[in-house]
Amino acid sequence: METWGYIAIAGLAAGLIHLTLFLILLFRRGKEAQEKAALAYLGFSLVWVAAVAFANLEAIFLPVVTETGRALTPALALTLSVGYLTCIALFLEYPFWPLLATAGYTWAAVLLAATLFFQVLSPQAIPLEQVAGFSWAALTLAAVGLLGYGLFTSRLAFHRNRALYWLLTASATTAGQALTLLPLGPLQLVGPLIHLAGAIALARGVLTFWLPNVKGALRAILRFLFLFLTTAALLLGAVLSLEQLTSLLALPSETVVVLLALGLALVYLPLYQFLVRLVDRLLTGIGFDPAQVLRDYSQTISTMMDLEQLARTVVQTVAQILEIQRGALLIANETERGGLTLRPVPALGEIPIEPIEVEPISPLLVRLKEEDRPLFQYEVEMHPVLRAAPQREREGLRALGMEIYLPIRAEGGLAGLLALGPQKTGEPYSPRIVEFLMTLAHQTGVALQNARLVAGLQELNEQMRRLNEDLRSAYERLERLDRAKTDFLNIASHELRTPLTQIRGYTDILNELAHTGTLTQDQIARITENLSRPVRRLERIINAMMDASLLETGMSFRFAPTTLAGVMRMAIEPWQEALKERRITLTTRGLEDIPPIRADMDRLIQAFSNLISNAIKFTPDGGRITIEARPLDEEYFEVTVSDTGIGISPIDRELIFEKFYRVGNIDLHSSGDYKFKGGGPGLGLPIARGVIEGHGGCIWVESPGYDEERCPGSTFHVVLPYHAYRGPCRWKRPEERGNDTGQQSG
């Protein structure tokens, strides 16, 4: 057969196989972007193979056909490099793949059109073949660079194996394309045959989820070559020594052959066993006795009742033989909605402890509960079904940094997962290793169930202890409030009796002077003034009691535009005389910086007046009171009322906002409105809180403690919205935000 016949057969074979791969992908349903990119690549491969074949079949085609095929080959090779670069960007999930595809295919189309134009209509004036060749080399280097970057940055073994697989595939396709660009004549058709191996690997990578272990395959080849060369060396040595042994021993050649065979058998059998153990260790990574390890492990965990100790034991057992860097137990608990909560118990490495909640409709839940086989992180990120799981679940598992999750079952249900990180070797877990780990996980089931029961009992005891503490605190609080109500009766009766006694006394005086006829205008004015003071005080007490009664039923508010500076000025005004008499310095800051607000002015004046009154009463003579305002955000601002008073003990910081509760000994009660430690009915602060909360705000107090000698002082914080509303305060204190974040993450 002439040369053109072999060229035609080779081209036809390469074309048919490329066509078969193209048709397999073409008729595949539900093609994703990766499969579409591979389909386009194989389509261009068919045209490229045809162009190479036409270029070398001068014996059966006209010169115009062969010259056109030869001219189009570089531009088509460039198109293939663009297609493969697009496939690589898609396979490695780079977001810029549309830009690569658009720019690359546009440039390839320009070169193809220019080549056809110069080939058909005019002589070539531009070295298009060189331009296409340089472009092909640049894109090929870019594809290799992307694969190399993906290989060295992959933290999981299966992702690294995936990048290595595509790197080897790129080597075959690139080598095939390069051969067609060299001036090799008919030998150029070897290029499509070599390219065929890469095309088959490309189609396999698209059609199947699991890719072969590249390192394992290479190691298997090395194993075969090692055993082959060792056996060949022994046989060659035996053949070479046969003639020498025959002359040396002076025995028939048949006898020497028998003796040599027996000697080889004696040497080869132990040598073979040694080689098998060596190759087994190198190939599978199992350099230990799985049965012995499992027996020792079963005895070790049989008496364990602590979850953290169990987690450390199982992970350290695996780490000693596989050299892993991370590991944990994930405790599985059913949720009320039928989902699953995975709570990590760290054992090795820095492991996030935030629980992972798996939704009832998540494909991960079906995979974990119904299939008794390991789950790989590679599946979570790449499997078409599992990728439909909620993003929060997949990110939670990715944050653990694990490679494999092995189900631990007890009493027919999922008790937890043994999560293990990548091996130190960087290779995927081999089937024999996975089988060993599954057995280890199954043995852990009973121990994990016992440890969970013990942990449940410990948690129950802790809950009971906390409940007892809460009950004791609630009982003490109720006792204090009960005493406060009893004290209120005494204080209220005293508060009411004092102004009534004054009124009665002055009315008796007025009556006596009226009967004697000695009443003058000055006496009438003085007595009237003395009567008005207890009346006003009695009015304030009665109004406070009426406002307190509205705390449960709800105060009425009339919100209207006002200013904080105006509210505070009117709240301070009634206490100017008291501040002067007690020599207390009151300072305000930042009130003018607060823009106009919408609130109930009278109610706010009442609330801040009560806070100022409280500060005056518990600040010694000569002390200081500071009122400061500052914006918090676009919706809220804060007002603080600070004093240099005797402070508040931690146990009283919440109780002072309860009705009738007052700090200090009732026997030290003073009937003055602003005397030091002067007592009242215990309604000022509860009313202030009711007003603040009725505006959609919140109030709390901070104090280092109670000390009448050092006077650590107190600071009342008031947070209000610029536009008041009826409802709970939406602004959170810093410590409350931290608790909310912890609860959400937990």
Domain check: are 10 and 72 in the same one?
A: yes
Shared domain for 224 and 196, answered yes or no, is: no
DSSP 595: P
Whether 501 is covered by a domain: the verdict is no
Question: How does DSSP assign 646-680, residue by residue?
Answer: S---GGGTTGGGSTT---S-GGG---SSSSTT---
Looking at every residue in the chain, the average pLDDT score rounds to 81
Q: Is it the case that residue 417 has pLDDT exceeding 50?
A: yes
Name the residue among 111, 147, 140 with its Cα closest to residue 127: 111
**Residue at token pair 């931290």:** 738
Q: Is the pLDDT of residue 666 over 70?
A: no
User: Which of the two residues, 484 and 640, has the higher pLDDT score?
Assistant: 640
Do 203 and 243 reside in the same domain of the chain? no
Q: Where a domain ends, among 263, 284, 305?
A: 284
How do the residues of the chain divide into helix, strand and coil, expressed in percent and rounded to 5?
Answer: 65, 10, 25
Q: What's the token pair of residue 732? A: 């959170």
- What b-and-e string marks burial along 544-566, b requiring 16 or more CB atoms within 10 Å of the CB? bbebbeebeeeeebebeebbbbe
The pLDDT of residue 503 is 77
* Pair 660, 730 in one domain: yes
144-147: long-range contacts at Cβ-Cβ below 8 A with a sequence spacing of 24 or more?
Answer: 144/170, 144/174, 146/85, 146/88, 146/89, 146/92, 146/94, 147/88, 147/92
Q: What is the number of alpha carbons within 13 Å of residue 187 lying toward its C-beta?
A: 5
Q: Is the pLDDT of residue 576 over 70?
A: yes
Reference 559, options 739, 720, 378, 327; nearest CA is 720
User: What CA–CA distance (Å, rounded) separates 414 from 342?
Assistant: 11
% of the chain surpassing 90 pLDDT: 17
Q: For residue 318, what pLDDT is reported? A: 85
- What's the CA gap between 598 and 567, in Å, rounded? 12
pLDDT tens digits, residue range 624-663?
A: 999 999 999 889 999 999 999 999 988 878 778 776 666 6
Looking at the fold, whether 122 and 248 belong to one and the same domain comes out as: no
Report CA 444 to chain centroid distance, whole Å: 28
Q: Do residue 406 and residue 266 come from a single domain? A: no
pLDDT recorded at residue 250: 63
The pLDDT value given to residue 743: 42
Q: Residue 374 and residue 396: Cα distance in Å, rounded?
A: 18
Residue 698 backbone dihedrals phi, psi, to 5 degrees: -150, 160
pLDDT for 744: 39
Domain ranges, residue 314:
290-459
CATH at residue 444: 3.30.450.40
Specify the residue for token string 């009130």.
591
Asked if residue 541 belongs to a domain, the reply is: no
pLDDT on residue 494: 59
Residues 570-580 have a mean pLDDT of 92
Q: What is the DSSP letter of 309?
A: H
- Position 1 scores a pLDDT of 41
Distance set, CA 174 to CA 137, 161, 171, 250 (Å): 9, 20, 5, 61
Q: Which of 212, 239, 259 is the last residue of a domain?
A: 212
Strands 375-376 and 404-410: antiparallel
Q: Within this chain, do residues 319 and 247 fall inside the same structural domain, yes or no?
A: no
Does residue 439 sit in the same domain as residue 579? no
Half-sphere exposure of 246 (CA within 13 A, CB side): 12
The burial class, CB within 10 Å (0-12 / 13-18 / 19+), for 122 is: exposed
Q: CB–CB of 378/156 below 8 Å?
A: yes
Lowest mean pLDDT among 15-19, 33-37, 455-459, 722-726: 455-459
Q: Which is more confidently placed, 741 or 522? A: 522
Give the whole-angstrom CA distance, residue 643 versus residue 627: 9
Rounded Cα gap, residues 546 and 553, in angstroms: 11
Residues 240 and 348 in one domain: no
- Alpha-carbon separation of residue 214 from 88, 169, 435, 595 (angstroms): 17, 11, 20, 69
Q: Give whichever of 204-213, 309-318, 371-380, 674-683 has the largest mean pLDDT.
A: 371-380
Q: How many CB atoms lie within 10 A of CB 457?
A: 11
Tens-place pLDDT, residues 717-738: 999 999 999 888 888 876 665 5
Find the radius of gyration of the CA atoms of the chain.
Answer: 45
**Lowest-confidence segment of 154-163, 182-191, 245-254, 635-644 by average pLDDT:** 245-254
User: Which residues is 586 bridged to in the sheet?
Assistant: 625
Place of tokens 């048919």: 16
Confidence band for 495, pLDDT divided at 50, 70 and 90: low
> Is 499 part of a structural domain of the chain?
no
Confidence category of residue 741, pLDDT binned at 50, 70, 90: very low
What pLDDT digit, counting tens, does each position of 66-122 carry? 778 788 888 888 899 998 889 888 887 788 888 888 998 999 899 888 888 777 666
Give the position of tokens 């209509």: 121
590 pLDDT higher than 90: yes
pLDDT band at 669 (very low <50, low <70, confident <90, very high): very low
Q: How confident is the model at residue 605 (pLDDT cuts 50, 70, 90)?
A: very high
pLDDT of amino acid 589: 94
Residue 490 within any structural domain of the chain = no
**pLDDT level of residue 6 (50, 70, 90 thresholds):** low
Q: Are residues 202 and 226 in the same domain?
A: no
Residue 493 placed within a domain:
no
On the question of pLDDT at 559 being above 60, the answer is yes
pTM for the whole thing? 0.56
Write down which residue in 196, 212, 228 finishes a domain. 212
Residue matched to tokens 């070479």: 240
Do 37 and 170 belong together in one domain?
yes
Task: Report the pLDDT value the prediction gives residue 570, as an integer from 0 to 100.
Answer: 95
| pLDDT bucket at 251, cuts 50 / 70 / 90 | low
**Do 249 and 319 fall into the same domain?**
no
Instruction: Please tell me the predicted confidence (pLDDT) of residue 627.
Output: 96
Q: For 170-217, write each residue's pLDDT tens digit.
A: 888 999 888 888 877 777 778 888 988 889 988 888 888 788 888 777
Specify the higher pLDDT residue, 421 or 60.
421
pLDDT(742) > 50: no
117-126, 390-399, 433-442 — which is least confidently predicted?
117-126
- The model's confidence at residue 674, banded by pLDDT at 50, 70 and 90, is low
CATH number at 99 reads 1.20.1070.10
Give the per-residue pLDDT at 56: 73
Closest by CA position to 429, among listed 402, 448, 409:
402
548 within a domain of the structure (yes/no): no
Q: How many domains does the chain have?
A: 4
Q: Which CATH number fits the domain that encloses residue 605?
A: 3.30.565.10
Taking residues 414-431, what's their average pLDDT?
A: 84
For residue range 443-483, what is the model confidence (pLDDT) as tens digits? 887 777 777 777 767 777 778 888 877 777 667 666 655 65
In this predicted structure, what is the pLDDT of residue 254?
73
CA 167/CA 163 separation, integer angstroms: 6
C-alpha count within 13 angstroms, C-beta hemisphere, residue 144 = 12
pLDDT tens figures, 533-549: 777 777 666 666 666 66
With respect to residue 534, please indicate whether it lies within any of the assigned structural domains: no
Percent of the chain with pLDDT over 70: 82
CA distance 560 to 599: 5
